[in-house]
Structure 1
Amino acid sequence: MSGMPWQDEHWARLQARRARGAMPHALLICGPEGLGKRAFAERFVRGLLCLQPVDGEACGHCRSCALQAAGTHPDRVTLTYGLRKDGVQRSEIVIDQIRELSARLAMSSQFGGWQIASIDPADALNGAAANALLKTLEEPAAQTMLVLVADAPWRLPQTIRSRCQRVEFHLPAAEQALAWLESQGVTDAAAALQAAGGNPGLAQRWAQEGSLDRRREVRKDLAALAAGRGEAMDVVRRWLDSEPAQRVWFAAQAVAEEAKAKLSGAAGPLASALEPAALADWYASANRARESLRGPLRGDLTLLELLARWR
């Protein structure tokens, strides 16, 4: 299993710690979605449990690797969203799950090596679960490692973050990201990377999903509304029908470009009548709307309010 090029430094650092017997008892692998955090965590855990690793990489053939591939390795636990009593998936990780995990980790390793527990997404721990996990972090058992994976590490309590060795991925340089996208066969890599805000993983996925067409549609919608054409409610219906949060992201991008153009004295691509300060306010409102679309509020009202302000 090979990693993405921007992961190489983190990989080398962890393997150096492994070579000198200085592995941490807890890792927090974090950073924006799309940079391969979960693939990195999987690669690392498989290599750590492998009986015959090569430069930290799992051999793929030993008994441990076979058990991991089957999902039955006795020294590996994966914790994510559980089910409620009525069978509905939870939206958070709860204290009972952490208590069960702690009891499992208190037992001895069956292979005589590491016991590894992965928590993903760790930023979904509720308050009680986070407090329970803190006790495990404060009194780690020998040869036990917690691997926390989080897109939004700031949602974790500082007390947990401070007890983990942080492996944080940042957006790579544009040249490296473009080279990787082209190696993956992404056509129009530059446009895809711009749409994804410099995130190569998202750029690859969005290019495959046809999101660049969606981005062009959003810009046309905003330009039409700015010119007094069309109805905001019609736009809301279309946006709700297909990736509304992504469409708002594309709208925020376009408005940021509009504001930048106006500040330089040029005509913006959307021909909006709003001044730069008002455009900045709308950009902030768009980002809040993206968060609201992930919650329980009605998406149509959220988008209608946003687009009414734009028009």
Structure 2
Amino acid sequence: MNAMPWHAEHWSRLQSRRARDAMPHALLLCGPQGLGKREFMHRFAQGLLCTQAQDGEACGHCRSCQLFVAGTHPDFAVLSFGLRKDGVQRSEIVVDQIRELSARLSMSSQFGGWQIVCIDPADAMNAAAANALLKTLEEPSQQTLLMLVADAPWRLPQTIRSRCQRIEFHLPSREDALGWLQQAGVSDAAAALDAAGGNPGLARAWVDAGALARRQEVRKDLSALAAGRGEAMEVARRWLDSEPEQRLWFAAQAVADEVRSRAGTAAGPLSSSLDAEALDQWYMSANLTRESLRGPLRGDLLLLELLARWR
């Protein structure tokens, strides 16, 4: 993957701290999914462990780099979702995992340098795990670095956030985003970037997954329902079967376009009979439904209720 230009400022600042021997003991890499937080984390960690790094960039050839790329470096680990006793993957990071992490960091580095542990996604730690992490953050060992990666940092306790050096990734300028997408060979980069709300990493992933066609399908579904054609139940079933959260994102985008068109006195592309206030309420409901799909409620009923209100 070609370099992400919006990483340059964060990279330069961290390398400056490294040169002054003023590295923090904990970093919180946060921001929307798709901006390369995890690529940045791996790039920085490999450079920190490399024995022949130049300006923070790993050489790629030393034994440390070879082990890092193979995923077997003894001084680097990524903590993520573990397995339950029945073999099913957990949906949260639990306290036992954090205790194992703390025990690992209490030991000396096998290569005599840094020990680095990444928690990803850090915002998936449950309350007990977050509390257990506090002790490690409050009493860091020498040459240890904790890297917390979070798409939703507000889910982390303030006590955790306040003990980390925050590196926040923001959406780049449209010019930078389009340039990066074009260098990556993404077709119809402008349309993809619009679909992803200005997020270039998301735009690239969605193009690869055929999401632009799905976006058009969502708009056709909403137009058909607004005109009294089609069945809300059938549309809800189809959306639930294929990327429902992404479809709700596209649905909210389409309604926002409808509102903007009416503000310019043009007919809305969806031809909805809802007034401006009702469109605004439906937009908010679509976003709330997207969040609710991650919970215990039945997705088919959530989608059916939303689409029935649209029709």
TM-score by length of structure 1 reads: 0.98
Query: 2:83 & 2:231 partners in 1: Cα distance?
Result: 42
8 Å contact kept, 1:3–1:40: no
Residue 292 of structure 1 corresponds to 292
Q: Give secondary structure in 2 for the equivalent of 1:51.
A: coil
The 4+ residue runs of structure 1 with deviation greater than 3 A are: none
- In the TM superposition, what is the alpha-carbon distance from 1:239 to its structure 2 partner? 1.1
Larger deviation, residues 290-299 vs 82-91: 290-299
Residue 229 of structure 2 corresponds to 229
Q: Give secondary structure in 2 for the equivalent of 1:245.
A: helix
Query: 1:145 & 1:78 partners in 2: Cα distance?
Result: 12
The letter for the 2-side match of 1:114 is W
Q: Give secondary structure in 2 for the equivalent of 1:27.
A: strand
The one-character-per-residue Cα deviations of 1:231-287 (angstroms, maximum 9, x if unpaired) are 111111221221111111100000011112223332111111111111111011000
Residues 195 and 30 of structure 1: is their aligned pair in 2 closer, same or farther, counting only changes over 3 Å?
A: same
The one-character-per-residue Cα deviations of 1:159-210 (angstroms, maximum 9, x if unpaired) are 1101111111110111111111111111111111000000001111111211
Residue 147 of structure 2 corresponds to 147
Segments of structure 1 that go 5 or more residues without pairing to the other structure are none
Query: 2:2 & 2:112 partners in 1: Cα distance?
Result: 27
Q: Give secondary structure in 2 for the equivalent of 1:15.
A: helix
Residue 93 of structure 1 corresponds to 93
Spell out the pairing of 1:64-79 with structure 2 (5 A cutoff). Answer: 64-79=64-79
The one-character-per-residue Cα deviations of 1:211-236 (angstroms, maximum 9, x if unpaired) are 11111111111011111111111111
Query: Are 1:23 and 2:23 an aligned pair?
Result: yes
Residue 251 of structure 2 corresponds to 251
The letter for the 2-side match of 1:62 is C
Residues 138 and 2 of structure 1: is their aligned pair in 2 closer, same or farther, counting only changes over 3 Å?
A: farther
Query: 1:276 & 1:171 partners in 2: Cα distance?
Result: 29
Query: 1:88 & 1:218 partners in 2: Cα distance?
Result: 33
Provide the identity percentage: 75
Q: Give secondary structure in 1 for the equivalent of 2:146.
A: strand
The letter for the 1-side match of 2:163 is R
Query: 2:2 & 2:89 partners in 1: Cα distance?
Result: 32
Residue 41 of structure 2 corresponds to 41
The letter for the 2-side match of 1:8 is A
Residue 134 of structure 1 corresponds to 134
Spell out the pairing of 1:214-225 with structure 2 (5 A cutoff). Answer: 214-225=214-225
Residue 32 of structure 2 corresponds to 32
Residue 121 of structure 1 corresponds to 121
How much is the aligned-residue C-alpha RMSD, in angstroms? 1.1
Query: 1:134 & 1:264 partners in 2: Cα distance?
Result: 52
Residue 266 of structure 2 corresponds to 266
Q: Give secondary structure in 2 for the equivalent of 1:149.
A: strand
Query: 1:72 & 1:251 partners in 2: Cα distance?
Result: 43
Segments of structure 2 that go 5 or more residues without pairing to the other structure are none
The one-character-per-residue Cα deviations of 1:52-86 (angstroms, maximum 9, x if unpaired) are 10110111111111221222222112211111111
Query: 2:144 & 2:60 partners in 1: Cα distance?
Result: 22
8 Å contact kept, 2:2–2:184: no
Residue 82 of structure 2 corresponds to 82
The letter for the 2-side match of 1:50 is C
Query: 1:211 & 1:294 partners in 2: Cα distance?
Result: 20
Query: 2:41 & 2:76 partners in 1: Cα distance?
Result: 13
Query: Are 1:187 and 2:187 an aligned pair?
Result: yes
8 Å contact kept, 2:79–2:117: yes
Larger deviation, residues 98-107 vs 232-241: 232-241
Query: 1:122 & 1:300 partners in 2: Cα distance?
Result: 30
Spell out the pairing of 1:135-214 with structure 2 (5 A cutoff). Answer: 135-214=135-214
Q: Give secondary structure in 1 for the equivalent of 2:296.
A: coil
The letter for the 2-side match of 1:22 is A
Query: 2:66 & 2:271 partners in 1: Cα distance?
Result: 59
8 Å contact kept, 2:192–2:207: yes
8 Å contact kept, 1:28–1:148: yes
8 Å contact kept, 2:2–2:180: no
TM-score by length of structure 2 reads: 0.98
Residue 111 of structure 2 corresponds to 111
Query: 2:187 & 2:78 partners in 1: Cα distance?
Result: 36
Larger deviation, residues 293-302 vs 246-255: 293-302
- In the TM superposition, what is the alpha-carbon distance from 1:2 to its structure 2 partner? 5.8
Query: 1:253 & 1:245 partners in 2: Cα distance?
Result: 13
